[in-house]
Amino acid sequence: MSIKLAVIQFPGSNCDLDTIHVLNNVIGVEANLIWHNHFKEAEFDGCVLPGGFSFGDYLRSGIIAAHSPALDEARIMLKDGRPIIGICNGFQILTEAQFLPGALLRNDSLKFICKWVNIKVENNETAFTSKMKIGDVLAIPIAHGEGRYYTDNLKELEENNQIVFRYTTESGDITEEANPNGSMENIAGVCNLEQNCLGLMPHPERASEAIISPKGTTHGKLFFESMIEFIKRRIS
């Protein structure tokens, strides 16, 4: 059985085509660009909520998209245990739709920030991190104005191993300088309790090809390869 993924296109998504490119041409998996209110979960083995400014980020980042029929479909997928990843604006949508805990606030610099950062793997048991090792440091870019992670339930997240990535230095140290946006405890990505849903601010699709990585790394591929591996294990 062949694997089929959906990249959901909301009005205002702008990393949708980039994600499709990486999935189709770099990872080599079938991925379809699906307009948000055309999305039918039953046709897909997993889905990606790409980055961008869904609905112009009006009202609050991700809040309008969180009410799209696509999220009702995705909720079925989530309960069924299929993998869902939200990247950047996708992460904001997933927190607004309460697939994931916490919220993304305005960067502490009050500015949009675009730069390559390092994140450390804290949990490699999720649907998107099985190809990584705990403690691995990944080079990956961020590009957001509202990526400061906040939660009221930090302890719970830590106990449940839901913190998947933290911003670190190149050598893996969790420092204030390595935190680009003021996120609580340097948190860059979190997952749900069942570990089949991941949200993160950095962009794996921008870190999957050596030619566009400053140091020639392709750490972003690991996310999608892990996702495929997870699906294969589920199917078999």
Q: Which ranges of 30-144 does DSSP label H, i.e. alpha helix?
A: 69-80, 89-96
Q: Which of 88, 144, 146, 197 is catalytic?
A: 88
Task: Decide whether 120 or 206 has the Cβ nearer to other proteins.
Answer: 206
- Best CA proximity match to 102, nearest among 187, 16, 219: 187
- The residue from 15, 73, 205, 219 that is catalytic is 205
Of the pair 197, 207, the CB lying nearest other proteins is at: 207
Min dist CB 24 to other proteins, Å, is 11
Pairing between β-strand 137-144 and β-strand 187-191 as defined by DSSP bridges: unpaired
Q: 36: helix, coil or strand? A: helix
* Distance between CA atoms of residues 4 and 115, nearest Å: 31
Q: How far is the CB of 211 from other proteins (least distance, A)?
A: 6
In a 13 Å sphere around the CA of 128, the CA atoms on its Cβ side amount to 32
Min separation Cβ 99 and other proteins, Å: 24
Does residue 203 carry a catalytic annotation? Answer: yes
Q: Which amino acid is at 217?
A: T
Residues that bind other proteins in the complex, under the rule CB under 8 A: 11-12, 14-15, 18, 21-22, 25, 35, 51-53, 55-58, 111-116, 141, 143, 145, 203, 205-206, 209, 211-212, 214
**Which residues are annotated as catalytic?**
88, 203, 205
